[in-house]
Amino acid sequence: MTAVPATPHKIVFLDRDSLIATVRAPAFVHEWAEYPHTKGSAQTVERLQDASIAISNKVPLRAAELAQLPQLKMIAVAATGTDIIDLAACRERGIIVANIRDYARATVPEHTLALMLALRRQLIAYRADVEAGLWQASERFCLFGHPIRDLAGSRLGLLGYGALGKAVAQLARAFGMQVAVHNRSPINETDVLEVSKEELLATSDILSLHLPLTDKTRNIIGALELASMKPTALLINTARGGLVDEAALAHALHTGVIAGAGFDVLSQEPPPPDNVLLKLRLPNFILTPHTAWASGEAMQKLAEQLIDNVEAFERGAPTNLVG
């Protein structure tokens, strides 16, 4: 049980502008400070100097910062991923880490399907044709030029099958797709085909990634994996940047190794101007700025759970613990 502090908790939200939602005040006596964004280790340590609870979406808290924050007792991550937190250092210092779960079961799968549909229906290419006046100059009532493929009847391969992977599978089946999965642990669902990673790569018409970023999953899709996919296949990544070797993907798209890709994440965010995927100007590549999670409904649900986690910690019964 967490002891009730002699003085009120000081709560510091390091990157408040990362969450466009109403964040209610915790239902206990506390001091609250928030900053639109926080950059750099020195600023992080300065702002958390007297804090017992830190809230961070994407501001890193590594061992070096934690060593300078003896009063810190909890880190409430305003996201599901916790790769920004040194969990081992938190364990050593007795710092509780809690994250957000299951808030994006609608928004991320919808974005994933939107990328699939946009690419299979060639929406970007045909919009460019209309803007260039090609439809207006056509001798026919419609404009051809980019092959359109249905989702119905195609195979969706899911690499990873957590809550979001399952939600994507549900939407995909509604479109008439067959779902195949490679997952670390057995699935035991009658409407899901479990296959090896090699078979998943070789047989999927669309491959969608739903994995956390760890040392084992970093660059899990590289040049060899891309080469083993169908030349007509699409690669979708709404999970984490770093799961895919970006240089290898750019080469694969330029050379026709795969037919297209839709990404919502990059290996560094915000990305530097020289990121190889930012330079792509191809109708078969769609890049969105890490917005799959960011529907208004999902962000408000996240905000509610965030404060629920803080209140549970203060009561001495922390929830959604990580590490």
Active site residues: 240, 269, 290
In whole angstroms, give the CA distance from residue 255 to residue 274: 20
In whole angstroms, give the CA distance from residue 47 to residue 39: 11
In whole angstroms, give the CA distance from residue 317 to residue 1: 7
Structure-token pair, residue 51: 């804090």
In whole angstroms, give the CA distance from residue 74 to residue 77: 10
Residue of 155, 41, 110, 64 lying closest to 294 (CA atoms): 110
Angle between helices 107-120 and 163-174 (to 10 degrees): 50
Strand-pair partners of 85? 61
In whole angstroms, give the CA distance from residue 277 to residue 287: 8
Residue of 199, 259, 251, 200 lying closest to 222 (CA atoms): 251
Structure-token pair, residue 302: 């996240």
- Residue 226's φ and ψ, nearest 5 degrees, are -65, -40
